[in-house]
Structure 1
């Protein structure tokens, strides 16, 4: 990561979360948390380093709520960076003001100021998460959100003995904002992280990290629920436990048809709940995570480990490593993702839109801009339909709600302006990449099918796309160019997986469907922070409906100014 240690100097950024609300009443309640964002020195990988934290903790605190609860999180910013917090996967019905992406739904919380995120948890249960949604600050500002089912509603799978949160992350020895600035200055991809982490710790495979290993104790014969979250900035990750199978029961806070696997693949932004049975010979076993990368780009092949330890086994027993898929094992990833199916039970139905009002095709590509001060005289950028998104100076939701002109246009094209052989030979052709704050306007309650198509502009690569404000159904995926005449016939319209973040395969496509029943301005972007920074993002303006509860709620009084 280079030798420059750009430590966070300046006022701490503090998030306070009080976790004294573990007894849940039978009916909906108001859960209040305080997030204090501060700079705290955290010792990892041989030396301590000041980082931006929430309540002085890394990772940040877990928010526990029940389905139906109202949540109020007061965020106070004492860092030298502007801040915003996104509640990833929470639908925020009519309430984009609580969604969090900076300059999309709100202006950021400036140093010394506060903002209260006030939202209801309706019709969702499971594992989600929260993270900073400005610059690269989510490298250290993140934590889990656990939504328990309504009182008296059991899980649709065997009740676990205990559950554990497993947050997968990345670690830089230097100030991550300096890393980001270095990339912008040079026009090249910035340095990769120095380590991966499990619950903030890299594990004993890294030097000087003996003390920095997460361990989970289990008892023979019992079943455990792991709530796994990929909080890494730029890496899709494999995860496995030596000697133990994982039974997948939920992704992105949606129950799945259970299936057993030796490993999972999880993209940045995604969550996966698995059951693990402690049914092996009592010993110590490594959990491990490392990157998936199936294109000839520099691979971040560092393995982070944690320990699953049976009760009574001494720490002197050396753990064994699991068999993770090869770093470029595309077939494992495609096969695994194909096994993900919605539970689609009477209690948890899959309401897939069958009649589609609006069909969209968005191509994902890379390009170059002239940059005389950059290393190669050019700067890398990323595009959707050949448009690299320009961030506005004020929040798009505020501009939309108050009918302020000139902040954005609603002329984002429904399909690429120039069709071509998207996944053919590597393309360096200049298709006239444009820059702009261009959004797509969607009628309230209309049904949308969006095909995300990877292209070979400069290089193919896999991309995890996250849509704010919605879940969607992943009705189809394939390698090569999407064929509108043949591919829809192969869609799964019975039990497709429902989620909020989906991987678009390298050199392939993914088709998603959703009903636009949540009015507001909703961000959609690649969850690889590098690509988002290069412009791989856009937003949907979903119009108000005619009904009394079908329009955007008024903004809160403490909404941060720009």
Structure 2
């Protein structure tokens, strides 16, 4: 029997796992296993103590599970999503129902736990899980705008072949934020006076050193846990599975790059790419030479609009991939 706090809400969601391809970079298209057909997967936004049920249908040709990374699964260990330990993998065409209490707040995430070296490291099988605290900190109450940034890795040698890659001798040569490499990423648009909360998630297989120009990042949470003594940094090392929350005062109008400071991560075959975005302040003119002049804008690329809508499961059509022809594959 799961514990159920008196203030809990019942949340019931359904998700699928699809085989699609996405354009990671101008020079890289990758076949992925995508939750609801998109990379990253849909935002799941709930409140501390909520009673969550998620029905997952596997529409791919290989088995999968979902691990809810950061949920302690108190009284619900069979929903931890580890094949051969807590459940049988979800076979192609089958549905598995996960049921758990959102027992700890913070920036969490979910990902496959079958062949993680491939499915998570280079196949995009991850998405954000945000659990709002019952009692937010004074700093959290000041936030006016939020973004989620999931850093990840890719291997071009196996981008077109399922069932390959992720081995110790393989080479990761593309890097992304929210499944896209600059310039296919999006800006973060703000107004002077905004208080921005940046939720960074290490979804790939390497450390990303995230550096913001022109502003200090106040690290308020680590792996979902509020820090007793928040501290300012200008570069955040986000390792595999790690999460950092930074609160930043938007008090320096202009345009400022926010990028991975591992130099090889922003080299896409001699071109600038990788986990890069730009803080764009409202009212700053865009010169003709600016790289994102007339760039098609998606205000929900970092889940900003979805986070503002309240609780639920939120898809983003602009993150959807293109269905690939399925063939039977070996495990």
TM over 0.5: yes
Counterpart in the other structure of 2:143:
160
Counterpart in the other structure of 2:92:
111
Is 1:170 the equivalent of 2:153?
yes
Counterpart in the other structure of 1:312:
283
Runs of 4+ in 1 over 4 A off after TM superposition: 299-303
Distance in 2 between the 1:49 and 1:129 partners?
Answer: 22
Distance in 1 between the 2:61 and 2:89 partners?
Answer: 12
Q: Secondary structure at the match of 2:218?
A: strand
Judge conservation of contact 1:197–1:203 (CA < 8 Å) in 2. yes
Judge conservation of contact 1:196–1:290 (CA < 8 Å) in 2. no
Match of 1:261 among 225, 228, 233: 233
Judge conservation of contact 1:228–1:272 (CA < 8 Å) in 2. yes
Which ranges in structure 1 are unaligned for 5 or more consecutive residues?
1-25, 184-188, 205-211, 293-298, 320-562
Is 1:127 the equivalent of 2:107?
yes
Q: CA deviation at 1:290?
A: 4.6
Match of 1:191 among 150, 170, 173: 170
Aligned residues: 269
- C-alpha spacing 1:171/1:312, structure 2 compared with 1 (3 Å): farther
Judge conservation of contact 2:25–2:182 (CA < 8 Å) in 1. no
Is 1:148 the equivalent of 2:114?
no
Is 1:200 the equivalent of 2:164?
no
The residue correspondences of 1:55-454 to structure 2 (distance < 5 A) are 55-122=36-103, 124-135=104-115, 136-138=118-120, 139=122, 140-150=124-134, 153-157=135-139, 159-173=142-156, 174=159, 175=161, 177-180=163-166, 183=167, 189-204=168-183, 212-232=184-204, 234-256=205-227, 257-280=229-252, 282-291=253-262, 302=267, 303-316=274-287, 318=290
Distance in 2 between the 1:154 and 1:99 partners?
Answer: 26
Q: Secondary structure at the match of 1:178?
A: coil
Distance in 1 between the 2:162 and 2:148 partners?
Answer: 24
Counterpart in the other structure of 2:18:
38
Q: Deviations over 1:509-551 (max 9, x none)?
A: xxxxxxxxxxxxxxxxxxxxxxxxxxxxxxxxxxxxxxxxxxx
- C-alpha spacing 1:221/1:191, structure 2 compared with 1 (3 Å): same
Judge conservation of contact 2:175–2:266 (CA < 8 Å) in 1. no
Q: Deviations over 1:124-167 (max 9, x none)?
A: 111110001111211301011100122xx332315211111111
Distance in 2 between the 1:201 and 1:300 partners?
Answer: 13
Judge conservation of contact 1:29–1:70 (CA < 8 Å) in 2. yes
Q: CA deviation at 1:318?
A: 4.2
Q: Secondary structure at the match of 1:146?
A: strand
Which ranges in structure 2 are unaligned for 5 or more consecutive residues?
1-5, 268-273, 292-331
Distance in 1 between the 2:285 and 2:30 partners?
Answer: 32
- Let me know the Cα RMSD of the aligned residues: 2.0
